[in-house]
Amino acid sequence: MPTKTPRSPLPPVAGIGLRGPHLAQILKQRPSAGWLEVHAENYMHASPATAALEQVRKNYTLSIHGVGLSLGSAQGVDSSHLARLKALCDRFQPAMVSEHLAWCIGDGIYLNDLMPLPHDEEALAIVCRNIDQAQEAIGRRILIENLSSYVGFARSTMAEPEFLGEIARRTGCGLLLDINNVYVSARNLGFDAEAYIAGLPGESIEEIHLAGHASNDTTDGPVLIDNHGSAVAPAVWSLYRSALERFGTRPTLIEWDSDIPPLETLLGEAMWADLLAETVADASRTVLPFLPPSRSKSAKVALCDHHPNRTNQQKERAHA
Amino acid sequence: MRSLAELQTAMTQAIMAGSFVDVEGEFTAGNADPGRRYAIYRNNMFLSLAAHLRTVFPVTARLGDERFFAYAAHQFILREPPRSARLVVYGAAFPRFLSRFPACRHAPILAQMAALEWAVHSSLTSAQRPFLETKDMAAISAGQGLELQPSLHFVLSRWPVLGLWAHQAERQQALPRKTCRIAVIRHDDDIRFFELSTARFAFWRDLVRRRSLEEAATRALARDAQFNLADELVFLFSNRLVTGLIPIQPDKGQVQ
């Protein structure tokens, strides 16, 4: 059964990540997108894009998604970066602000990647301290997103869902569930993606991310790379459906950051996300509660008929 | 066991050094080798920062050949990694790095093209303020200076880089040395270039350095006896470069 739906300031539909190549088209054509998310660090300085965002926000609900706050940094959060984030929020008044369960500055060097954290008491205390500081500084709750990981830590004493749940409980922040990241990490580190999602506190999840990934062959076997450079994989759609059935509809974002396709492709992915959410919601309201588990399973297969990549879906699920 | 701070320092040093022996015991990676898996983070960092530099310096990358640019970018990232998440300021030191990079000794124009491209990037990421009209010139009084658009950036090059940049040269051509003084300014979504005479270059740069009009004009006249202050003011105002009239303290005029 879906968990109690939190009151998200974002509309409960699919939005898209706003990327530079689409800015002019969005301004000119005003396509129907549920909402738009921008990367905070791209708008912390004056530029034509920052000026254009003033126009964009008149027509769309905005979410600001940070990648550089380094909330997992033991050295603490860069106060000047935090001040820039606050100024950005004050200027654009986004409906939502989110960041990652990650660190990206170590030894004074910005690594330009989202680095993983061990899941132990020391890291938990540090992350909570930094989130408290960030929420206090910008004067609003934030959402924390799970990472895609290529390594885990031998010292970890708790699973990531438990770690995230504890962060939400201690700081009052919400969670942003990136389902592609769950899938990528599960494949890379060998855990059960469904069990991961089941372990999350559904009432804290206020947003979902969907994106594509790449698969690289290595001497250790295939490794999935979270490159946001392709359509959402069938197996990730399947996990998304599973999350919808468990948690109910959530504002969902289609992210695409490399090899950026035409805007219509992103909007098409967002449409699939909306269709899937509506179908799952309808099913939970009408048919599914009365079906035995075996019938319920066949209903899932029927849903897949709506997706253009259905032929690959079973294959991908076999790997999940 | 290391503290988290020590672990993050060790993980950062491993990425910069490309050696994971010191940290791989910290990791798990299913059935994969933890060190090789951790190397993905190093790869991500270097590839993404090199891509950033290629975006900021596209003509420099083409002039010097893409493979050479990748090598130079890698060396630059190793020696001068970013210090903050504000990547928009990362690359400011790249032109100077290229000017001292032994592998660029045969092609000094690369560093100067990079300087021009950094000026373009800096202009595009600068604020654009409301400008004063030509009629506002009447309000100028003695001891004042002019505040110019913050997106105004200067490049002094010993090579005709502006022509090369404009033609987005695919390969280096045999070019005669020719000193050029360039001003770059953002105009909405576009960039405007001015090739400046010696006197005008000195005049504009002195104004940006907050020297008074009198002092800036005196220094310009020292370079060109034909320098005409009234004409220069009309030029600045009519090109929307002036954003304010500011009082200049004589002592402060020498600061920069």
DSSP string covering A296-308 = HHHHHHHHHTTST
Q: Where are the domains of chain A?
A: 14-319
Q: At what angle do helices B229-238 and B213-223 cross, to 10 degrees?
A: 110
Q: Would an 8 Å CB–CB cutoff place A58 in contact with chain B?
A: no
Q: Which domain holds residue B195?
A: 57-254
Contacts of A111 in chain B (CB under 8 A): 12, 15, 41, 45
Q: Would an 8 Å CB–CB cutoff place B128 in contact with chain A?
A: yes
Res A3: pLDDT: 58
**Structural domain contains residue B37:** no
Q: When comparing pLDDT for A70 and B251, which is higher?
A: A70
Structure tokens at A8: 């998200």
Burial class (CB in 10 A: 0-12, 13-18, 19+), B256: exposed
Q: Express each pLDDT in A256-302 by its tens digit.
A: 999 999 999 999 999 999 999 999 999 877 654 434 333 333 333 33
| Among the ranges given (A1-10, A305-314, B104-113), the one the predictor scored with the smallest mean pLDDT | A305-314
Residue of B27, B84, B124 lying closest to A47 (CB–CB): B124
Contacts of B45 in chain A (CB under 8 A): 111-113
Contact A62, B66 (CB under 8 A): no
Q: When comparing pLDDT for A87 and A3, which is higher?
A: A87
pLDDT band, residue A93 (cuts 50/70/90): very high
Burial class (CB in 10 A: 0-12, 13-18, 19+), A271: middle
Structure tokens at A176: 């942003």
CA distance B123 to chain A (A): 9
Cβ-defined contact of A112 to B31 (cutoff 8 Å): no
Domain count along chain B: 1
Considering only residues 57 to 96 of chain B, which have any Cβ-Cβ distance to chain A shorter than 8 Å?
81-88
Contacts of B30 in chain A (CB under 8 A): 188-190
> What global pTM score does this model have?
0.87
pLDDT band, residue A8 (cuts 50/70/90): confident
Q: Express each pLDDT in B34-66 by its tens digit.
A: 999 999 999 999 999 999 999 999 999 999 888
Mean pLDDT for the stretch of residues B126-137:
93
Average pLDDT, chain A: 89
Closest residue of chain A to B188, computed from CA coordinates? A48
Q: When comparing pLDDT for A233 and A305, which is higher?
A: A233
Cβ-defined contact of A218 to B84 (cutoff 8 Å): no
Cβ-defined contact of B41 to A84 (cutoff 8 Å): no
3 state DSSP class of A262: coil
Mean pLDDT for the stretch of residues A232-238:
97
Res B164: pLDDT: 81
| Among the ranges given (A15-19, B24-28, B247-251), the one the predictor scored with the smallest mean pLDDT | B247-251
Cβ-defined contact of B9 to A47 (cutoff 8 Å): no
Mean pLDDT for the stretch of residues B183-203:
94
Residue B209 in this model has a pLDDT that exceeds 60: yes
Looking at domain A14-319, its CATH class is alpha beta
Considering only residues 196 to 255 of chain B, which have any Cβ-Cβ distance to chain A shorter than 8 Å?
none
Structure tokens at A42: 């791209």
Question: For residue A299, which of A317, A310, A287 has the smallest C-alpha distance?
Answer: A287
Res B10: pLDDT: 98
Cβ-defined contact of B32 to A74 (cutoff 8 Å): no
Contact A193, A239 (CB under 8 A): yes
Q: Express each pLDDT in A213-222 by its tens digit.
A: 999 999 989 9
3 state DSSP class of A194: helix
**Structural domain contains residue B39:** no
**Taking chain B, what is the end-to-end CA distance rounded to the nearest angstrom?**
51
**Structural domain contains residue B35:** no
Q: Would an 8 Å CB–CB cutoff place A100 in contact with chain B?
A: no
Res B173: pLDDT: 56
Question: Which value does ipTM take for this structure?
Answer: 0.89
